[in-house]
Amino acid sequence: MRRSLVLPAVLALLAPLGACGLFGDDGDPGAVGTQLAEALTARDLADVPFTGAAGEVDDETPATAYDAIVADLADAEVVVTAATADPEGDKATTTLTWTWHVHGAQWTYQSTADLVRVEETWQVAWDPGIVEPSLVAGERLEVDLLTPRRGDILDRNGDPIVTNRDVRRLGLDKTKIEADQVTDSATAIAELLDVDVEAYVKRAEASGPKAFVEAIVLREEEARTIDPAYGDVPGAVSIGAQMPLAPTSTFAAPLLGRVGPATKELIDNSEGRLAAGDQTGLGGLQARYDVQLAGTRGIQVEAVGGEDGERELFATEPVDGTPLQLTLDTALQTKAETVLADVEPASAIVVLDPETGEILAAASGPGSGGQTTATAARYAPGSTFKVVTALALLRSGLTPESMVECPATVVVDGKTFKNYDDYPSGSLGEVTLREAFAQSCNTAFINERGELGTDDLADAAAALGLGVDHDLGFPAYFGQVPPAAGETEKAADQIGQGKVLASPMAMAAVAASVRSGHTVVPKLIRGYDVEQVAPNQPLTTDEARQLRTLMRAVVTEGPGSFLGDVPGEVEAKTGTAEYGTAEDGSLPTHAWMIGTTDDLAVAVFVETGESGSRTAGPLLEQMLR
């Protein structure tokens, strides 16, 4: 695709010059050649001595002629050097070497300038061929940018997720209407397409008389649903085009980002890589990997305006972008987004391969408002964190069959902690650690806090992939398990509140680590080298086996029993975490649930819900089935 780059001329229009800027009577034309080269580099010919009216046509001077020839190269850097041959009588020739840096490409060539002796001084005989040897009067240089094909974003199987798809560009073509129709047509277009009327009309009125004023870009299937009245608006057009798009407008949108026109800020910070009108990545992976995906544009410099039409003088071929391959499974990602489609609060589903840590799905629901809730949100994980606490307790000497106390309430430094409202009364009192875990007894886990040292929770979390940062090549939050400031905070930390935080991705890693028997670090970008930080105390096979026993009990004898008939041996953990403030104590709650099969490790999160099993549970079940 070719795009003409028309840049404003920034060179001053200079007054005609005669024989000025003389160099004395030393008879050296080389000084004038050097002065010419320096003036061409500076794009200021004011002090160059030209021969009388040589080259002037209709009051055009060498300075104005040079301005016109190179106007389209106004933003390009040029360096001109001169080498002048010995004179032959009253004539000499200067060879000029031109080096242009045009949008990242280097264009080098030579031209010549004739020098003549006029009354004992050397002067330059103007000719367009000084600028480029093939130019004749009336021609100028024009730069076209040759746009490469943007690299696709691929799924785990190498199939395109983001690729060029058919779209319709809808807007106002001002060449098709009279000037006094612009306001009415722009208003009608904006109203029919449901875009900001005031802003669109303002843009339409301010644009040039031949402009196409884009209102919106729609996928082909979306464009078919616009009001038929659109076609009756004077000047309203629908132009077929292609854009890099995912299968749907919502597909992994917060994670992928999008492609759109480069902003001034991006252009200014691109060190010349981007220019006005370029398409570039805006947010997400499209922005982070824009250099790889965008490729390298080519350029074409032509001589235009002559009798022979356009002539190519220099060109570089565009280099297409390189695809970016992800670990996403298109079918699972689509399923996750379908499952979340009707969830109003912020929500997320993350699915990992429990053995490799590859992210198979990372869906943020519509209530997330475009934020990457799945991988980068920071929330208290509630009782799903009891998997971490359980590992710390196992390391302290407990086993799944160890007896622990589960009272209805427990008071720590004056603060009362209790179990959830419908906690089964039959599981109160002295119970096994397995039963306390399966039924999610807050008080039992809080009562055991004395068994743990300052760093035990953090070490257990790190062994399960939580709380240790890694550079994954995309926005990712691994959570935090800071040392508790006091007994009350330590009690809250035991049950995934206090200052403990996690993302859905981090909790999926916890589940995957238990299932696989080793610390799992999520991966999304194929070929991205993730330097794994080894935990202080790695997860052992026996520890993972015992944790799996606890998580299996959630399904066989706890609130995850609805997963009992899901094919395979499902292991799970529910979680609910209070947040916010309320004078009457009726705090809203985050709803969590994690679950695994041999092939999947899934974390489900809903920002505000009734409970883990009732709100997140049905969503998890849909994913596992």
How many CB atoms neighbour CB 59 within 10 A?
7
In SS3 terms, 265-315 reads as HHHHCCCCCCCCCCEEEECHHHHHCHHHHHCECEEEEEEEEECCEEEEEEE
The set of residues, in sequence order, having a beta carbon less than 8 Å from that of 471 and lying 6+ positions away, is 530, 531
Residue owning tokens 């040039």: 208
* pLDDT at site 585: 66
* pLDDT at site 368: 96
Q: What is the side-by-side order of every strand in the sheet holding 589-596?
A: 359-364, 347-352, 601-606, 589-596, 571-578
How many CB atoms neighbour CB 3 within 10 A?
13
417 with 547, same domain: the answer is yes
**Distance from C-alpha of 315 to C-alpha of 298, rounded to nearest angstrom:** 7
464 with 514, same domain: the answer is yes
CA-based nearest residue to 312, from 132, 523, 168, 79: 132
Element (H, E) at 216: strand 212-219
User: Is residue 616 included in any domain, yes or no?
Assistant: no
pLDDT tens track for 39-79: 999 999 999 999 964 444 456 899 999 999 999 999 899 99
User: Is residue 132 included in any domain, yes or no?
Assistant: yes
Q: Which residue among 130, 146, 162 closes a domain?
A: 146
Contact 72, 139 (CB under 8 A): no
Contact 525, 472 (CB under 8 A): yes
410 forms bridges with which residues in the sheet? 417
User: Is residue 452 included in any domain, yes or no?
Assistant: yes
**Distance from C-alpha of 333 to C-alpha of 402, rounded to nearest angstrom:** 40
User: Is residue 453 included in any domain, yes or no?
Assistant: yes
The token pair at 158 is: 């190498």
451 with 572, same domain: the answer is yes
How many structural domains comprise the chain?
A: 4
574 forms bridges with which residues in the sheet? 593
Distance of CA 402 to the CA centre of its chain: 49
Contact 302, 333 (CB under 8 A): no
Q: Which residues of the chain have pLDDT under 50?
A: 1-26, 53-57
How many CB atoms neighbour CB 572 within 10 A?
30
Strand residues in 103-191 grouped as ranges (E): 105-118, 121-125, 140-146, 153-154, 160-173
33 with 136, same domain: the answer is yes
User: Is residue 187 included in any domain, yes or no?
Assistant: yes
Residue range(s) defining the domain that contains residue 285: 252-294
User: Is residue 624 included in any domain, yes or no?
Assistant: no
122 with 268, same domain: the answer is no
**Distance from C-alpha of 336 to C-alpha of 514, rounded to nearest angstrom:** 22
463 with 418, same domain: the answer is yes
299 forms bridges with which residues in the sheet? 145, 316
Q: How many CA atoms lie within 13 A of 208 on its CB side?
A: 3
425 with 509, same domain: the answer is yes
The token pair at 120 is: 């004992």
206 with 265, same domain: the answer is no
426 with 555, same domain: the answer is yes
How large is the C-alpha radius of gyration of the chain?
35
pTM for this predicted structure: 0.84
79 with 114, same domain: the answer is yes
* pLDDT at site 532: 85
* pLDDT at site 543: 98
CA-based nearest residue to 156, from 323, 329, 286: 329
User: Is residue 324 included in any domain, yes or no?
Assistant: no
Contact 116, 19 (CB under 8 A): no
* pLDDT at site 228: 95
User: Is residue 359 included in any domain, yes or no?
Assistant: no
Domain CATH code at residue 81: 3.10.450
Q: Which residue among 263, 279, 294 closes a domain?
A: 294
Count, in order, helices (H) and strands (E) of the chain: 19, 24
* pLDDT at site 27: 62
**Distance from C-alpha of 244 to C-alpha of 151, rounded to nearest angstrom:** 9
Q: What is the DSSP letter of 523?
A: B
68 with 191, same domain: the answer is no
**Distance from C-alpha of 296 to C-alpha of 548, rounded to nearest angstrom:** 51
Q: Which residue among 110, 129, 146 closes a domain?
A: 146
Contact 499, 493 (CB under 8 A): yes
Element (H, E) at 574: strand 571-578
241 with 266, same domain: the answer is no
